Amino acid sequence: MNAQRFVTFLAALICFAVTACQMQEERSRRDPQKIVATNPKVQDIVVVQPYVCKLRSQQHIEIRALEEGYLEQMNLKEGQAVKKGETMFRVVPTLYQARLEAELAEAQVAEIEYINTKKLGENAVVSQQEVAVYLARLTKARARANLAQAELNFATIKAPFDGIIDRLYHQHGSLVKEKEILTTLSDNSVMWVYFNVPEARYFEHRDREGSEHDVSRLKLVDSRIELILANGKKYDQNAGNIVTVEGMVDFETGNYKLRADFPNPDRLLRQGQTGTVRVLQTLHNAIVIPQRATFEILDKQFVWVIGEDNVVRQRAITIAHELEDKFVIASGLDANDRIIMDGVLQVHHGDTLEDYEFEKADTALDHQKFPAE
């Protein structure tokens, strides 16, 4: 009995759905959508081009031990800021100090011998050739002393520039070998932000720049560059509109590699961060139409254009930029054309329109967040 009731209910549900569809189709035939036309608008408009980016410090180096030895007590902390010339690490210098003292003593002995020999040479007791030999010995001894002094200096590692210390790989008392990494140091006062731009977009910017330009630099005319952080917030510093162009193009993607420089006075940005670069470009006298006025055939965009004789004709267009609900047109339309905005699916090529509404471009573009047909 229950199964029979279920079958009866299912049949009634299907019948209701079919009836509803038929009623909807009949209503659509009786009350077709009103055809509304408009015209393209010529205006200045800002287009936003987002690119994923990586952040690098303008200086980022590895700090390595120049000599082997044990590390003395360090007063450093990870993330600490240091000044140029400030001592960062010191290797126990006992052996280097002893070697320096021995070499200084040898240089002193060589100097005494040279002075005595020089006096004898002046009195013709020894030849000038022998005097030259003792001078060479003195020069060699002094060179060895200078080398020992340099090795002693290598035991003390100082910051080569103002920066921030990264992870400390060794602690007090650790035995470190020559050239072993101790930490890294980053100068974050200016951050280099790297992003890739498609080849076509690069040449578009280059053409706007003009004929005279530096191949290593690119000026984004009528543009500004913003940085969006990983939390979605806009960074409060801008990079201007001049970027650096790297020497190679990515062969796999065809992208140009660009670098924008962002000031970092509060040291908020750090080496290795990611984000999004937004290039905000102002297009002057751009031709703008609603997206809903277009339709696609075989990957090409078209609009219906109403001629002076009220005959509808299909016309191909080229889109330069896509906004939220508008298209910026590169070619195919001008401001005097009349295009169908609503009722695109109800007309055919060659139809004559006797009755349609016309909406001014300003009004049409201000109400474009309505759903398309």
Handedness of CA 106, 112, 115, 116 (dihedral sign): negative
CATH of the domain at 253: 2.40.30.170
Residues 138 and 217 in one domain: no
Q: What is the pTM of this model?
A: 0.70
Same domain flag for 133 and 194? no
Final residue of a domain: which of 276, 298, 323? 276
Domain boundary among 249, 276, 303: 276
Using alpha carbons, select from 59, 271, 75, 86 the residue that is nearest to residue 168. 75
**Tell me, what amino acid is at 132?**
A
Q: Per the domain annotation, does 232 fall within a domain? A: yes
In a domain, 164, yes or no: no
- Indicate if 149 and 222 belong to the same structural domain: no
Based on the fold, state whether residues 138 and 215 are members of the same structural domain: no
Position 278 scores a pLDDT of: 94
The phi-psi region of residue 322 (left if phi > 0; otherwise alpha if psi is between -120 and 50; otherwise beta) is: beta
Residues 6 or more apart from 178 whose CB is under 8 A from it?
Answer: 65, 66, 67, 68
Structural domain contains residue 85: no
Please give the Cα distance from 245 to 215 (Å, whole number).
Answer: 7
The answer to whether position 137 is within a domain reads yes
3-state secondary structure of 308: coil
Question: For residue 270, what are the domain limits?
Answer: 51-58+188-276
Query: Among 154, 170, 198, which residue terminates a domain?
Result: 154
Say if residue 271 is in the same domain as residue 204. Answer: yes
* Same domain membership, residue 214 and residue 144: no
Kindly state the tokens that stand for 356: 């349609």
Q: Calculate the alpha carbon distances from 53 to 3, 58, 278 in Å.
A: 62, 15, 10
Let me know: does 325 contact 368? Beta carbons within 8 Å.
yes
Number of compact structural domains in the chain:
2
Residues of the chain with pLDDT under 70: 1-33, 94, 210-213, 367-373
267 inside domain: yes
Q: State the maximum Cα–Cα separation within the chain, in Å, rounded to a whole number.
A: 140
The percentage of residues in the chain with a pLDDT greater than 70, rounded to a whole number, is 88
Determine the pLDDT at residue 11: 62
How many other C-beta atoms are found inside a 10 Å radius of the C-beta of residue 71? 19
Question: Can you list the positions of beta strands (E) in the chain?
Answer: 36-38, 41-64, 69-70, 81-82, 87-90, 156-158, 163-165, 175-176, 181-198, 217-219, 223-228, 242-249, 255-263, 274-290, 294-297, 300-306, 312-322, 326-331, 338-342, 357-358
* Chain mean pLDDT for the chain: 85
211 and 272 both lie in a single domain: yes
Same domain, 263 and 200: yes
194 and 260 housed in the same domain: yes
216: phi > 0 → left, psi -120 to 50 → alpha, else beta; which?
alpha
Q: At which residue do the structure tokens 């200078």 appear? A: 146
Structural domain contains residue 253 = yes
- What is the b/e burial string over 268-299, where b = at least 16 CB atoms within 10 angstroms of the residue's CB? ebbbebebbbbbbbebeebbbbbbbbbbeeee
Q: Flag whether 269 is in a domain.
A: yes
Q: Are residues 199 and 138 in the same domain?
A: no
* pLDDT confidence of residue 29: 47
Residues 218 and 262 in one domain: yes
pLDDT value at position 316?
95
Looking at residue 354, the DSSP 8-state letter turns out to be: S
Residue 356 lies in a domain: no
123/192 same-domain check: no
Domain at 109, CATH number:
1.10.287.470
Task: Give me the residues paired with residue 208 across strands.
Answer: none
**Can you give the pLDDT at residue 1?**
46
pLDDT at 8: 64
Strand partners, 217: 244
pLDDT at 210: 67
